[in-house]
């Protein structure tokens, strides 16, 4: 648990970078999808050809954010004053 608290910031970096990279990568396989004009949630739409990989990534990303939760509370309390 102590390692999780000390390396939690790495999980947030992976989640943030992955959010951009995965959505960009999956958009290559979705015909007529535009990263500039369409919402990222369109990738998880039931009619999307990349729905399953996108939804799996969203699950992984949610787990990464939950792993960061404990560290973020600790940092908030420490620097709050």
Mean per-residue pLDDT, 47-70:
86
Which pLDDT belongs to residue 56? Answer: 94
Contact present, 14 and 7 (Cβ < 8 Å)? no
Which pLDDT belongs to residue 38? Answer: 86
Split at pLDDT 50, 70, 90, the class of 4 is low
- 38/49 Cα distance (integer angstroms): 15
- 16/50 Cα distance (integer angstroms): 20
Calculate the CA dihedral of residues 34, 35, 39, 41 and round it to 10 degrees: 100
Q: pLDDT (tens digit, 9 = 90+) per residue, 58-69?
A: 999 888 877 777
Which pLDDT belongs to residue 52? Answer: 94
Place of tokens 């500039």: 36
């Amino acid at each position: 648990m102590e390692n999780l608290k000390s390396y939690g910031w790495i999980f947030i970096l992976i989640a943030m970078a992955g959010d951009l990279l995965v959505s960009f990568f999956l958009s290559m396989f979705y015909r007529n999808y535009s990263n500039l004009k369409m919402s990222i949630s369109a990738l998880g739409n039931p009619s999307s050809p990349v729905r399953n990989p996108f939804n799996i990534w969203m699950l992984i990303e949610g787990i990464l954010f939950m792993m960061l939760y404990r560290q973020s509370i600790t940092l908030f309390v420490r620097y709050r004053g």
